[in-house]
Structure 1
Amino acid sequence: MTMRMGNYLRVIVLCLTGLNFIILYKPVSIPEMLPVMKNFKSNITMYSLKQNMEFEQGSKCSCLEPTIRSLDMNTRHRQKREYMEWERQENKMAEPMTLCPAMSPIRYLGSGITVEPLSSVRVVGIEVDSVLKASKHLRITLTSRNSLGHIYVEPFTMTDLLHIEGNNSGQISMQTENIDQINSALSHLIYTGQQHHIRQRDYIDVSMHNFHIVINIVIQRSHVPRLYDPGPYNNISGKVTIVSKTFERYECVKRLISSVRTFYPNIKIIIADDSCKKQKLDGNNVKHFLMPFLEGYNAGKNLLVSQVRTKYFLWVDDDYVFTSDTILERFVEKLESPTAELDLVAGLILHKGVVTETITKDAWSHVEYAKGKDSGCIMKRTTTIKTLKEFPNCKLKDMVTNFFMAKTEAVRKVGFDLTFERFAHREFFVDALGYLRIAQCDDVIILHRREADHRYSVYRHMKHDTISIDKYAKRILFKNNLQCFQSWEKIFLLSKNNNE
């Protein structure tokens, strides 16, 4: 007993918040460590732990009258297919189940226990090693560190050998001379949340002799699925909406709509327009939203994305033209890949006979964000371009051009900063860092036919508007908690020079 307990002191176990790192220091002269591990039950699986964990959370789904009944069979099949994809994405962010083996005398589930607010869950997977059988006066204490829940041992066949103090409170203690009684009580352990939080974390601190472990409890309100019905035919028109912001360029946007209709006669098109003198935009399945004059570029983007009712949307500038190489199905294929896990896919632009990945000479493709002591900095990063193994013609990037298809819900979560009224592009991709997985592919191409319009240029370009430029630069610094950022627009240099 003494020898084995000594072995435990040579082990460091880090099993917190879903991370399971075990650092062993085992002198070769002490072979007793492995037999201790064999004393545990070998038939415990993650699946059985998950099944046993459910308590008041897996109740039968039934609705009181008046009840809206289920969908027809065909729609139900589409719903199931969309839900499976939604659930797969949701599970990627779920609390991982981490079983921490008995490198101390206690085996436990370090993470993976999730409970609805004000509901109960079984604290499964915790067990004391039989190496302590010979020990007298076994005492184990469990405490809700953040006082967010109560710990309760539900009734089971107990004997006078087990004494429980503080049952159904923030701290309970159990004492016995029989290790089987301790483990029986631990197998009936329940945690009940006492406060309503959308997402919060509590910790159960477990102490026994000189050993201490921590069990993570996530109090999480379940997310209700938000699915998009692709329609009975599962075609491109039921999955994608084309959106574009226009300003003082009606000839361009009319040409864009006409080119879309050549290749996609039924796909929905939404136009946001903050021109001064409005003109009517006609066309099959075209929505034309009229905005106040000079309302702003990002205001138009937010409006457009808010009106999308399909799973994906395609962003195009109003001076783009569809060609036979603008094959939207290829974008959809990549966004629906279960292994590529992309949120946004850009294509290439044909401009003046040259196909490019961007319309600017000094392109920002990858961004480096460095955290300082109190603030950070953003700069252009030169890195080896990574290609997707699923699609070798696609490169992973942080910033892409204004020709892309994206998942509607993913972009809505990032949004577009309304401060940027007259130009806005890279600011969105800075906000999207860490939220969107982005790629650029070479198999979808669109034509860029830039038109010289004096009225448009007067409002669009900001060469002499140093006040607005300075406002934009300060907004980026403040919002993103930056002490500096490398200029990605030449106009920012005007602000810098002006300040100097």
Structure 2
Amino acid sequence: MRTTRKCLGLILASGLLLLALFYAWSPGTSSGVDIWQRQGRPVKKLNAKMQDIISGNPDIAYHIKEDVACRLAQNPCVCQGDEETFHLPFSNLLFPRMWAHKLDVPFLESQPDPEATKRHRAQEYSSFRRRSYSPADAFIVAEANSPLQYPIQGVEVRPLKTIIIPGLGLKEETRSDHMVYLTAALGTFDVAATVANVSLKGEGEKHMILSSPLLPALNRQLQFVTYTNTVFHPKTADTVQFGTEGHQSFFTIKVGHATIPKLYYSGYQTEYNISALVTIATKTFLRYDKLKDLIDSIRQYYPTVTIVIADDNKHPQPVTGPHIEHYIMPFSKGWFAGRNLAVSQVTTKYVLWVDDDFIFSANTKLEKMVDILEKTTLDLVGGAVREVTGYTATYRHTISVEEGGEEGDCLHIRSGYHHVIEGFPNCVVADAVINFFMARKDKVLQVGFDPRLARQGHMEFFIQGLGSLHIGSCSDIIVNHASKIKLPWTKSDSQKAYEKFRYSSSKTNNIHNELFYFKNRFKCMVSI
């Protein structure tokens, strides 16, 4: 009887394990994006902006449409994970729960003066807002039934330069006198030409009035109105007030330098010249045997592609060969510091990042990565990593930030992707990918890698790049991963030393908490 029960238990456990593995490994087939809140989180109040919009008619009743309102951002956000309602073997794989990790408590507890740290963070955030805020971000509505015609957006001027403001006009019934005025804060107004029967006041000043008894003449004069920026700033905007009797409107003029293009000449080729377009970058530490296998595999398929190696070993060994650049760093300088060094030495348009224990195969097609980057607006495209077990991982995630008030914001990380890339059926758009990717070198340098992350770090790069990196992931571009399975008594001294550095967690965890809580002003991280 006991034997029968044991057999039934083993059968049930095996079945659950197989189901869990199938659930975890099966690739997603839907191209939709999950924008729905989980059940059990009712809408408590409307977004603050919507409250402002509807408050103009307090006597008119309204009814909240729950399925739409639930998608609106809650303010402040709530750091709350799912409660575990039942527990079964492998339940986390079968029914993954959303977990929440508070970042403020563990970090502040490690500080000698937590309140001073909070004040410091608040000051830094206030300074950041002042540096990054632009009046062009302000929410301005062009009221209906206004006789004023004006550009809503798209007007730009270089610092301290002059432009004609396009699109100004007045549309009203004929009267004895027609008048409009313009007011600015960072510049002055004038006209490029004068029109008969039009009176001008305030030429060359921040406030100018135009009037005429003839509406067609006034509209003609408005076509010559100029704006001159008088306050230098490399990137800001001026909010212009444009009004007439009983009506006023606002529009913005962006002030800023033109973006300087960064073009890479690799020579005209009918096919992609990978050696001229791509540099392979890696970081090594205590794993010269793995590094040699990586280089040998690369040379099998790409014999002339440059390989840049950042090395922070205590006793560095020479790594030589054609098209190899080996840079020695201070001992144990770290993972992200090595990434910064390696990428900084890349001179080609694209950089391919690989770990030093990867192995190229016939499926590691760099040409396809280049093709995607050349034909799309993507800045970075990741591939897939195949383990010795045969399992292939893509590690795709979406990332979002929810406003959370004075205590900080909430960081949300979810497994999945946004949508399939048209023309590349095996590729999708995501916010974070696996540690095997090709990217535009300048965009990687723009985001950078925090050198305090010495031995552990990956998702942090993509969190820093949120909003500036356009990322894709392809499941059919595959690199192999060297086996990590080693029996304890077969490990070499270098392997033991590597694991000691790689998996020391106490200091690393505190650095992660500091980066997220203080540097990025998050109060919690929610992941599933």
TM-score if structure 1 supplies the norm length?
0.72
- Indicate how the Cα distance of structure 1 residues 467 and 152 shifts in structure 2: closer, same or farther if over 3 A, else same: same
Is 1:370 aligned to residue 438 of structure 2? no
Is 1:164 aligned to residue 200 of structure 2? yes
Following the alignment from structure 2 to structure 1, what is the Cα–Cα distance between the partners of residues 511 and 527?
Answer: 14
Is 1:332 aligned to residue 370 of structure 2? yes
Contact 1:348–1:355 (8 Å) recurs in 2: no
User: Which AA in structure 2 matches 1:372?
Assistant: G
Contact 2:396–2:473 (8 Å) recurs in 1: no
Following the alignment from structure 1 to structure 2, what is the Cα–Cα distance between the partners of residues 364 and 184?
Answer: 56
Following the alignment from structure 1 to structure 2, what is the Cα–Cα distance between the partners of residues 380 and 119?
Answer: 44
1:285 pairs with 323, 328, 348, which one?
323
- Indicate how the Cα distance of structure 1 residues 204 and 369 shifts in structure 2: closer, same or farther if over 3 A, else same: closer
Following the alignment from structure 1 to structure 2, what is the Cα–Cα distance between the partners of residues 430 and 482?
Answer: 11
User: Which AA in structure 2 matches 1:332?
Assistant: V
Structure 2 counterparts to residues 45-124 of structure 1, below 5 A: 103-124=145-166
Contact 1:151–1:191 (8 Å) recurs in 2: yes
Contact 1:330–1:443 (8 Å) recurs in 2: no
Contact 1:139–1:175 (8 Å) recurs in 2: yes
- Indicate how the Cα distance of structure 1 residues 353 and 377 shifts in structure 2: closer, same or farther if over 3 A, else same: same
Is 1:406 aligned to residue 439 of structure 2? yes
Q: 1:393: Cα distance to partner? A: 0.7
Is 1:245 aligned to residue 283 of structure 2? yes
Is 1:387 aligned to residue 431 of structure 2? no
Is 1:132 aligned to residue 173 of structure 2? yes
Q: 1:240: Cα distance to partner? A: 0.5
Following the alignment from structure 1 to structure 2, what is the Cα–Cα distance between the partners of residues 439 and 157?
Answer: 55
Q: 1:175: Cα distance to partner? A: 2.2
1:470 pairs with 480, 491, 510, which one?
510
Q: 1:292: Cα distance to partner? A: 0.5
- Indicate how the Cα distance of structure 1 residues 455 and 383 shifts in structure 2: closer, same or farther if over 3 A, else same: closer
Larger RCO (CA under 8 A, 6+ residues apart): 2
Contact 2:158–2:257 (8 Å) recurs in 1: yes
Following the alignment from structure 1 to structure 2, what is the Cα–Cα distance between the partners of residues 150 and 251?
Answer: 67
Structure 1 gap segments, 5+ residues each: 1-93, 489-500
Contact 2:195–2:217 (8 Å) recurs in 1: no
Q: 1:283: Cα distance to partner? A: 1.2
Contact 2:416–2:430 (8 Å) recurs in 1: no
SS of 2:462's partner is: helix
The number of residues matched between the two structures is 378
Deviation digits for residues 287-314 of structure 1 (CA, Å, limit 9, x no counterpart): 0000000111100101111111111111
User: Which AA in structure 1 matches 2:263?
Assistant: L
Structure 1 equivalent of residue 40 of structure 2 = none
- Indicate how the Cα distance of structure 1 residues 428 and 226 shifts in structure 2: closer, same or farther if over 3 A, else same: same
RMSD: 2.3
TM-score if structure 2 supplies the norm length?
0.68
Structure 2 equivalent of residue 349 of structure 1 = 385
Structure 2 equivalent of residue 302 of structure 1 = 340
- Indicate how the Cα distance of structure 1 residues 367 and 215 shifts in structure 2: closer, same or farther if over 3 A, else same: closer
Structure 2 equivalent of residue 445 of structure 1 = 478
User: Which AA in structure 2 matches 1:416?
Assistant: F
Following the alignment from structure 1 to structure 2, what is the Cα–Cα distance between the partners of residues 156 and 102?
Answer: 30
Contact 1:477–1:485 (8 Å) recurs in 2: no
Following the alignment from structure 2 to structure 1, what is the Cα–Cα distance between the partners of residues 417 and 294?
Answer: 35
SS of 1:111's partner is: coil
Contact 1:295–1:421 (8 Å) recurs in 2: yes
Following the alignment from structure 2 to structure 1, what is the Cα–Cα distance between the partners of residues 273 and 396?
Answer: 34
Structure 1 equivalent of residue 81 of structure 2 = none
User: Which AA in structure 1 matches 2:173?
Assistant: L
Structure 2 gap segments, 5+ residues each: 1-135, 485-490
User: Which AA in structure 1 matches 2:152?
Assistant: G
Contact 2:453–2:511 (8 Å) recurs in 1: no
SS of 2:251's partner is: strand
- Indicate how the Cα distance of structure 1 residues 260 and 382 shifts in structure 2: closer, same or farther if over 3 A, else same: closer
User: Which AA in structure 2 matches 1:210?
Assistant: G
Contact 1:119–1:193 (8 Å) recurs in 2: yes
